[in-house]
Amino acid sequence: MDKEVQKCVEELMTSPGVVGVLCADRQGMCLTSQGVANSNYSGSLTSLSHLATTLEPGKGDPVILFENHESQCLIHQNMGMTLAVYKTNT
């Protein structure tokens, strides 16, 4: 499974605008991080995705988006795994 995740992350990193990808498990342990994504943030990112799921229980897992002038951070949880993608606006 590790190789598949790694392959997926590497594929994502080649997408336009993507500057970082982080993948964490249910407990917030960082499985992989590439580019600007810092593995120190994996706990916070997982915690954020858990909190967002409690917003509207039963409505599925939402996508959380943080934005500032120059970059975006998208966080999504699926089957307990949290994926964070960092993008630049340019």
Partner 1 sequence: MDSLPNQLGYLLLDEDGAVIASNGDLENDERIGGIIVKMLRTAHKQELGLNDEKDGFQRMTINYPDHCYIVCVSNKRIHIAKRLVSPASEVIA
- Enumerate binding residues for partner 1 (CB under 8 A): 20, 36-38, 40-41, 44-45, 47-48, 51-52, 54-56, 59-60, 62-71, 73, 86, 88
Q: Smallest distance from the beta carbon of 40 to partner 1, in angstroms?
A: 8
Nearer to partner 1, 3 or 90 (CB): 90
Strand boundaries in 1-90, DSSP class E: 18-24, 30-35, 63-67, 71-78, 81-88
Q: Smallest distance from the beta carbon of 64 to partner 1, in angstroms?
A: 5
Exposed/middle/buried for residue 73 (C-beta within 10 Å: 0-12, 13-18, 19+): buried
